[in-house]
Amino acid sequence: MPLPLYLLALAVFAMGTSEFMLAGLLPDIASDFGVTVATAGVLTSAFAIGMIVGAPLVAALARNWPRRPALLAFVLVFAVAHAVGALTTSFPILFATRVAAALANAGFLAVALTAAAGLVSPDNKGRALAVLLSGTTMATIAGVPGGAVLGTALGWRATFWAVAVLCLPAALGILKGIPAGHDEDEATGRPGLRAELAQLARPRLILVMLLGALVNAATFGSLTFLAPVVTDSAGLDELWISVALVLFGAGSFVGVTTAGRLSDRSPGPVIAVSGPLLLIGWPALAVLADEPVALFLLVFVQGALSFALGSTLITRVLYQAVGAPTMAGSYATAALNVGAAAGPVVGAATLGTEAGVLGPLWASGLLVAVALLIAFPLHAVITASRSIEMLR
């Protein structure tokens, strides 16, 4: 894989740390601003909504920009948003900074996903996506738990400052590693914006975007509210939240790395195996949440399965959107973040039920069940050969 791809992954690491870090900070943020944990959880949805709206909008605006200055600008805006968030004492302003950061993240990912696919051969999109998403999984392994420890020691604002600082080497890497200017061959041969947007009318593209959104909703619905499961259901100290996040991140790294090697050539087996196991895992985690060993083991497994299945489905989005070379990344980003926005909302709604803090885990199982009910009758359509997809 080319070096610029890893430099993009470094920036994704910084942004992924921010996107996931609230899972370990929500109780402190809620206490600081005098709101409930469920209300604080809306910050995760705010970020995701900004990503959903921003991905296609910013991608459309930036499609004619040179990639290096576009990526650099998005990273710097992201850093400034976190600095403002660290300083504010107003929850609405903090909410607004999450939306602003999300817009910058969306623009970055939309350009980076398209750039990553263009850096490799046409039949290696899955591997390129795996490298890019490794920034996200490393964020869950190192960035998010580190942020949780930092937040516990110095307060949640210190974690926001850390993300802002983390953006600086990522910006330097983009400045030094991404070629300046346009790819002239790509610019002259690509379709117009209207033709790329018309790809959204393709049923196959809509299908894989929907499935990716459902699986990601299940992932974020439980991950956002993992902290109270560790402290309330398992009865562990707050520092064990970081352990759970590390295990989830380690599992996600294993899942996305394994799927990255299979999703280009054998997406069918990945979906057929990881889907049912993921479905079983969420309710099993709810039932065994009061057993720390089982809890941590299942957190690792669910991280692996969630990212194996989710990254495979998002790779299918890139293949199905082959007729939208500059917008395909934004479609994949939007699919991911429709789920990231809906999941915490669904999870928060279950907290007031008899299920309590385990409600999000049961809801995640239901979301995966819906995805599988849609996917398996259409399995052949989802996993159709790339040669067919590229002709349609």
Distance of CA 326 to the CA centre of its chain: 20
Structure tokens at 343: 């999941």
- The rounded distance, in Å, linking the Cα atoms of 103 and 57 is 9
Residue-wise pLDDT tens digits, 28-50: 898 899 888 888 888 877 887 77
Distance of CA 334 to the CA centre of its chain: 10
Residue 140 DSSP symbol:
I
- The rounded distance, in Å, linking the Cα atoms of 31 and 166 is 26
Amino acid present at 119: L
- The rounded distance, in Å, linking the Cα atoms of 260 and 226 is 26
Structure tokens at 6: 């890893």
Give the residue ranges of DSSP H helices in 34-123.
Answer: 37-40, 42-62, 67-87, 91-118
Residue 34 DSSP symbol:
T
**Residue 379 backbone phi and psi in degrees, to 5:** -55, -45
Phi-psi region of 242 (alpha: psi -120 to 50; beta: other; left: phi over 0): alpha
The chain-wide mean pLDDT, for the chain, equals: 81
Position 366 scores a pLDDT of 96
Which has the minimum average pLDDT: 260-269, 278-287, 328-337?
260-269
Closest C-alpha among 49, 41, 51, 40 to residue 16? 51
Position 185 scores a pLDDT of 44
DSSP string, 189-238: HSPPHHHHHHGGG-HHHHHHHHHHHHHHHHHHHHHTTHHHIIIIIS---T
- The rounded distance, in Å, linking the Cα atoms of 95 and 10 is 25
- The rounded distance, in Å, linking the Cα atoms of 364 and 281 is 10
Residue-wise pLDDT tens digits, 53-106: 777 777 777 777 777 888 889 999 999 999 999 999 999 999 999 989 988 988
Q: What is the pTM of this model?
A: 0.73
- The rounded distance, in Å, linking the Cα atoms of 200 and 59 is 15
Residue-wise pLDDT tens digits, 195-250: 877 777 788 888 888 999 999 999 989 988 888 899 999 888 877 887 888 888 88
Position 318 scores a pLDDT of 75
Q: How confident is the model at residue 387 (pLDDT cuts 50, 70, 90)?
A: very low
Position 197 scores a pLDDT of 76
Position 119 scores a pLDDT of 65
Residue-wise pLDDT tens digits, 164-190: 998 888 888 778 767 665 554 455 556
Contact between 330 and 110 (Cβ < 8 Å): yes
Position 96 scores a pLDDT of 92
Residue-wise pLDDT tens digits, 2-35: 677 777 788 888 888 887 777 678 888 988 998 8
Q: At what angle do helices 267-287 and 203-223 cross, to 10 degrees?
A: 30
Residues 6 or more apart whose CB falls under 8 angstroms from that of 259 comprise 126, 130, 270, 274, 307, 308, 309, 311, 312, 315
- The rounded distance, in Å, linking the Cα atoms of 139 and 135 is 6
Q: How confident is the model at residue 388 (pLDDT cuts 50, 70, 90)?
A: very low
Q: What's the mean pLDDT in 114-125?
A: 65
